Amino acid sequence: MDKKETFITAIKANEGLIYKIAAVYTDNTEDRKDLVQEIVYHLWKSFESFNQKSSLSTWMYRVAMNVSIYHLKVAKRKVSTIPIDGEAINFHEPENNDLEDRLKRFRQSVDKLNLLEKGIVMLYVENKSHQEIAEITGISVTNVGTKISRIKDKLKSQLTKQQ
The residues spanned by each domain of the chain are: 1-92, 95-163
Res. 96: pLDDT tops 70: no
1 compared with 70, residue with greater pLDDT:
70
Res. 94: pLDDT tops 90: no
The Cα-based distances of 47 to 7, 40, 60 in angstroms read 7, 10, 9
Q: Which of 77, 60, 54, 51 lies closest to 22 in space, CA to CA?
A: 60
User: Residue 110 has what pLDDT?
Assistant: 87
Architecture of domain 95-163: Orthogonal Bundle (1.10)
Mean pLDDT of the chain: 83
115: Cβ contacts below 8 Å, ≥ 6 apart: 25, 69, 72, 73
Quickly name the fold that domain 1-92 has. Answer: Rna Polymerase Sigma Factor; Chain: A (1.10.1740)
Q: What is the mean pLDDT of residues 11-32?
A: 89
Q: Is 52 helix (H, G, I), strand (E, B) or coil?
A: coil
Q: Which of 91, 88, 41, 33 lies closest to 64 in space, CA to CA?
A: 41
User: Residue 88 has what pLDDT?
Assistant: 46
